[in-house]
Chains A and B, each alone.
Chain A
Amino acid sequence: MADIPADRSEASFEDFKPAYTKAQAVVEANRCLYCYDAPCVKACPTSIDIPEFIRKIATDNVRGSARTILESNILGMSCARVCPVEVLCVGDCVYNELGVPPIQIGKLQRFSTDEAYAAGWRFHEAGSDTGKSVGLVGGGPASLACAHRLRRFGHRVTIYEKRDQIGGLNLTGVAPYKIKADRAAEEIDYVMAIGGIDVVTGVSVPGDLSWDELRKRHDALFVGFGLGPDSILSAAGGDLPGIVGAVDWIEQMKLGRLDLSAVRSAMVVGGGNTALDVVRELRGLGVPEVALVYRGDEAVMSGYAHEWAAAKEEGVRGLFRTLPVAFSGDGKVERARLVRMDEHKRPIDGSEHEVPCDLAIVAVGQSKLGELCAGLAGVKVEKGRILVGPDQATGEPGVYAGGDCANGGTEVVNAVAEGRDAAVSIDAWLGRT
């Protein structure tokens, strides 16, 4: 298993949605209507047969329930915890139409997959060797799902990961009240247990290894290398110590130990889901004053409404139509200078004011890695994303892509679906060549 220190900061978090006991799971499972052609399935990017896995919980066929989940989504254990079910399966439960609380699909999925992990149930074996080999660039959820499916088809796979361990953002980037790094690492082991997934860490593509070299080594490629480093803020003093990128900061919290004892007023800049994770994490770690600073209105924030509602409940303050223009302090950030914006996102004259700020976390997105594909002639990059068809194929024969680098940054479950579907396409393509 990956190296996860025990005394890391995230360890203090409790699950936001606690696990069901068996009794609770059965009661909830029995509420499911077992819809036909169910809306929840359509809302799931990996199309898990949700009514079927829930029925199997109710009939005490939990092993079968886990098999149904993992057949569609090999990362079903983490997805059960990290999926924004409120806007996916649970949001489309027909009970919403009836004014009845929707089925807690995520919690039921967690129940079945946790049982599978505890019991050591495995459902998939590698197929007989086809002699074909696929290289996967990046070791996050998209590549893991792709590699697992490719192994079921019998293809040889090698994952190239620039960091020292695979797992991607599922390991280093998910809010700890959803899943902690050690549990994510167990899932990586569960996926790897199919056998035959070779991993090369500490190698960047196309830095340490060129695309040409990779193409020579493998019959097909899957590009699943996610997004680049945190975007930075173009504000004066933005390079002061105490101003950090969100993805970096989350990783330190999840895998290391942060000292926040001196932090009184923290500010998180951004309105997306990463920003919402960070404000909640800061409150969870005991920072007294946490503010979300977003240039737009509350209503247009790209972060999920249910996450923002939870953040507010936890004491986070929202500063909307507001932008930091400068940071200052003696050797580290101590103050932020904010300006209010009008409805056209223009600064309002005379609205500048200074607030205390001893930690600023920038969550305004990650840079896109599209330019790294320059060495692949047929691969088209638009707005920093690799363009793919519905079969996850790029324009380059034998090269497929999925996950954040192709979709611009969405959920783990989207990455899993794309990686899995790419494997099916790759298998078909390898059969043709």
Chain B
Amino acid sequence: MPDLTSNTGGIVSPNPFWLASAPPANSGGQVQRAFDAGWGGAVWKTLGTPIQNVSSRFGATRWKGASGVGFNNIELITDRPLETNFREIYETKKKYPKHAIIVSLMVETREEWKEIIARSEDAGADGLELNFGCPHGMCERGMGSAVGQEPKVNERITGWAKEFAKVPVLVKLTPNVGDIVPHGLAAQRGGADGVSLINTIKSIIGVDIDRFVPEPRVAGLSTNGGYCGAAVRPIALHMTAALSRDPGFHLPISGIGGITNWRDALEFILLGSSSVQVCTEVMLRGYRIVEDMIEGLETYMSERGFERLDQLVGKAVPAYSEWGDLDLNYETVAKIDASACIGCQLCMVACHDGAHQCIHPNPDGSRVPTIDEDECVGCNLCQIVCPVPQCISMVQVPNGYTPATWNEHVEAGAQLRPKKGAH
């Protein structure tokens, strides 16, 4: 059996699956049940001066009957007394010594950081996570993403935390920035032991079209919230990879954003995450989802001969490149497996209206469309819309041209194949 033990900047957990700092990690009872279900760690819901929340707090996108593909919240940090939180952290850590408890923190002044870090460590925290990401409510009070969006402030407060902390410090980054890299580097300069990302994305989840009020509705008003859930995963993957491949960035990463299953988690790991954090899918389905995450990752590793998690961390990073370094002479075309095709012709309409008009009705009258390979640009759209697994495949066609990138073409005049579909 492969070893799933995870180490994120010195925070060790029996597996890389952590609850993110959020409602599922709000109390001792919850975190203990999560550990019982199999979660390897938990980032306690952010502690600071307890706040008062609104009702309602959550909103969700709906697509084809599924609710919560995208999700947002306008909930703030903990609303429970600090002493209660610390007592429960202590009890939980005592009961689950091998699991990782990371305490998320958000306060304002240097003195406040000093005090809350000391209390967290006294309670038994294995690590701290500085919440520089919350994009609603707290940022209006000069905390959360208001800190994360300013590299100098980020660096300074990280420095305070490192000055006071004995346990590892992670900085949780906000995605509400143009480029994530300067913010990761700021945390690194401040002395952080790692970063976690992404926090939620500033969003309006929807509008109540009967009341003319955005959602979630609080009396007659709403406000922007933090967007999360499966739909944000591509954004989070990009930001994770952007830091992972930056030559100046060397910190471990705890990946967050739209993870719903072992495969999603693995994608974050392959792009450089040492651990992953999950909130939305747990909110929607419960702690039990971790069983599949553990089992799926173990099976994947066993089948491919990986023994330790660190063998996978960052394994796909070298293949993340600039557009200008992609081979322009690599050519694929779509092929339809006529024996698998069910004749829905979704590929045909998608190609015709959304791509390069190279999929046509079959002249023999069958409903299996034909592909004009001379015109097919290999865009993948037909494969994406096909409802039958493995029916449409993108096949490389040799064209006699040696690989050539745009950069090579510009810099050294490398010869490019003739363009397809550009009439």
Distance between B77 CB and nearest chain A CB, rounded to angstroms: 36
Mark interface residues in B342-371 (1 if CB within 8 Å of A CB, else 0): 111110110000000000010000010000
A36/B64 contact (C-beta < 8 A), A98-B387, A98-B388 known: no
Contact A58 B64 (CB under 8 A): yes
Contact A35 B65 (CB under 8 A): no
Contact A97 B343 (CB under 8 A): yes
Contact A26 B65 (CB under 8 A): yes
Nearest to B352 among chain A residues (CB) is A36
Asked whether A39 is an interface residue with its Cβ less than 8 Å from the other chain, the reply is yes
Contact A94 B65 (CB under 8 A): no
A36/B349 contact (C-beta < 8 A), A94-B343, A97-B342, A97-B343 known: yes
Contact with B65, one of A30, A33, A34 (Cβ below 8 angstroms) = A30
Contact B64 A35 (CB under 8 A): no
Contact B346 A39 (CB under 8 A): no
Asked whether A87 is an interface residue with its Cβ less than 8 Å from the other chain, the reply is no
Asked whether A27 is an interface residue with its Cβ less than 8 Å from the other chain, the reply is yes
- B residues contacting the other copy or chain, number (CB 8 A): 13
Contacts of A98 in B (CB 8 A): 342, 387-388
B interface, over-half SS = loop
Contact A58 B65 (CB under 8 A): yes
Nearest to B344 among chain A residues (CB) is A35
Per the bound structure, the CA–CA distance linking A97 and B368 in Å amounts to: 12
Distance between A52 CB and nearest chain B CB, rounded to angstroms: 13
Contacts of B388 in A (CB 8 A): 98
Contacts of A13 in B (CB 8 A): none
Contact B342 A30 (CB under 8 A): no
Contacts of A34 in B (CB 8 A): 346
Nearest to B353 among chain A residues (CB) is A36
Nearest to A95 among chain B residues (CB) is B342
Per the bound structure, the CA–CA distance linking A95 and B65 in Å amounts to: 19
Asked whether A343 is an interface residue with its Cβ less than 8 Å from the other chain, the reply is no
- A residues contacting the other copy or chain, number (CB 8 A): 15
Asked whether A37 is an interface residue with its Cβ less than 8 Å from the other chain, the reply is yes
Per the bound structure, the CA–CA distance linking A429 and B387 in Å amounts to: 46
Per the bound structure, the CA–CA distance linking A98 and B343 in Å amounts to: 10
Q: Which parts of A16-45 form the interface with B (CB within 8 Å)?
A: 26-27, 30, 33-39
Most buried by A among B344, B346, B361: B344
Contact A33 B344 (CB under 8 A): yes
Contact A36 B345 (CB under 8 A): yes
Contact A37 B345 (CB under 8 A): yes
Contacts of B346 in A (CB 8 A): 33-36
Nearest to B389 among chain A residues (CB) is A98
A39/B367 contact (C-beta < 8 A), A34-B346, A94-B342, A95-B342 known: yes
Contacts of B342 in A (CB 8 A): 94-95, 97-98
Contact B387 A33 (CB under 8 A): yes
Nearest to B367 among chain A residues (CB) is A39
Q: Which parts of B328-347 form the interface with A (CB within 8 Å)?
A: 342-346
Contact A27 B65 (CB under 8 A): yes
Distance between A255 CB and nearest chain B CB, rounded to angstroms: 42
Contacts of A97 in B (CB 8 A): 342-343
Per the bound structure, the CA–CA distance linking A355 and B348 in Å amounts to: 61
Per the bound structure, the CA–CA distance linking A33 and B385 in Å amounts to: 10
A94/B344 contact (C-beta < 8 A), A33-B387, A36-B349, A39-B367 known: yes
Q: Which parts of B142-156 form the interface with A (CB within 8 Å)?
A: none
Distance between B171 CB and nearest chain A CB, rounded to angstroms: 41
Per the bound structure, the CA–CA distance linking A95 and B346 in Å amounts to: 13
Per the bound structure, the CA–CA distance linking A58 and B348 in Å amounts to: 23
Per the bound structure, the CA–CA distance linking A97 and B65 in Å amounts to: 24
Distance between A36 CB and nearest chain B CB, rounded to angstroms: 4
Per the bound structure, the CA–CA distance linking A246 and B308 in Å amounts to: 77
Per the bound structure, the CA–CA distance linking A97 and B349 in Å amounts to: 20
Contacts of B65 in A (CB 8 A): 26-27, 30, 58
Nearest to B349 among chain A residues (CB) is A36
Nearest to B361 among chain A residues (CB) is A37
Per the bound structure, the CA–CA distance linking A356 and B329 in Å amounts to: 84
Mark interface residues in B139-180 (1 if CB within 8 Å of A CB, else 0): 000000000000000000000000000000000000000000
Per the bound structure, the CA–CA distance linking A34 and B386 in Å amounts to: 11
Mark interface residues in B61-84 (1 if CB within 8 Å of A CB, else 0): 000110000000000000000000
Contacts of B361 in A (CB 8 A): 37
Per the bound structure, the CA–CA distance linking A58 and B62 in Å amounts to: 11
Most buried by A among B342, B343, B348, B367: B342
Contacts of A27 in B (CB 8 A): 65
Per the bound structure, the CA–CA distance linking A33 and B361 in Å amounts to: 18
Distance between A111 CB and nearest chain B CB, rounded to angstroms: 15
Distance between B168 CB and nearest chain A CB, rounded to angstroms: 46
Contacts of A95 in B (CB 8 A): 342
Nearest to A28 among chain B residues (CB) is B65
Per the bound structure, the CA–CA distance linking A35 and B64 in Å amounts to: 16
Contact A39 B343 (CB under 8 A): yes
Distance between B48 CB and nearest chain A CB, rounded to angstroms: 41
Contacts of A94 in B (CB 8 A): 342-344
Contacts of B345 in A (CB 8 A): 35-38
Distance between A105 CB and nearest chain B CB, rounded to angstroms: 15
Distance between B274 CB and nearest chain A CB, rounded to angstroms: 38
Per the bound structure, the CA–CA distance linking A98 and B388 in Å amounts to: 8
Per the bound structure, the CA–CA distance linking A97 and B387 in Å amounts to: 12
Contacts of B344 in A (CB 8 A): 33, 35-36, 38, 94
Per the bound structure, the CA–CA distance linking A97 and B361 in Å amounts to: 18
Per the bound structure, the CA–CA distance linking A57 and B400 in Å amounts to: 51
Per the bound structure, the CA–CA distance linking A38 and B342 in Å amounts to: 11
Nearest to B369 among chain A residues (CB) is A36
Q: Which parts of A364-394 form the interface with B (CB within 8 Å)?
A: none
Per the bound structure, the CA–CA distance linking A35 and B349 in Å amounts to: 9
Contact A36 B348 (CB under 8 A): yes
Q: Which parts of A300-334 form the interface with B (CB within 8 Å)?
A: none
Contacts of B367 in A (CB 8 A): 39
Distance between A143 CB and nearest chain B CB, rounded to angstroms: 35
Distance between B100 CB and nearest chain A CB, rounded to angstroms: 40
Distance between B105 CB and nearest chain A CB, rounded to angstroms: 43
Q: Which parts of A55-104 form the interface with B (CB within 8 Å)?
A: 58, 94-95, 97-98
Per the bound structure, the CA–CA distance linking A97 and B386 in Å amounts to: 14
Per the bound structure, the CA–CA distance linking A305 and B118 in Å amounts to: 78
Most buried by B among A33, A36, A97, A98: A36
Per the bound structure, the CA–CA distance linking A33 and B65 in Å amounts to: 14
Per the bound structure, the CA–CA distance linking A24 and B337 in Å amounts to: 34
Mark interface residues in B391-421 (1 if CB within 8 Å of A CB, else 0): 0000000000000000000000000000000
Q: Which parts of B188-240 form the interface with A (CB within 8 Å)?
A: none
**A residues engaging B (CB < 8 A)?**
26-27, 30, 33-39, 58, 94-95, 97-98
Query: Which 3 pairs of residues, A with B, have the shortest CB-CB distance?
Result: A36-B349, A97-B342, A36-B345
Sampled A-B contacts (22; CB under 8 Å): A26-B65, A27-B65, A30-B64, A33-B344, A33-B387, A34-B346, A36-B346, A37-B345, A37-B348, A37-B349, A37-B361, A38-B344, A39-B343, A39-B367, A58-B64, A58-B65, A94-B342, A94-B344, A95-B342, A97-B342, A97-B343, A98-B342
**B residues engaging A (CB < 8 A)?**
64-65, 342-346, 348-349, 361, 367, 387-388
With contacts A39-B367, A97-B342 known, what are 11 further pairs, Cβ within 8 A?
A27-B65, A30-B64, A30-B65, A33-B344, A36-B345, A37-B349, A38-B344, A38-B345, A39-B343, A94-B343, A98-B342
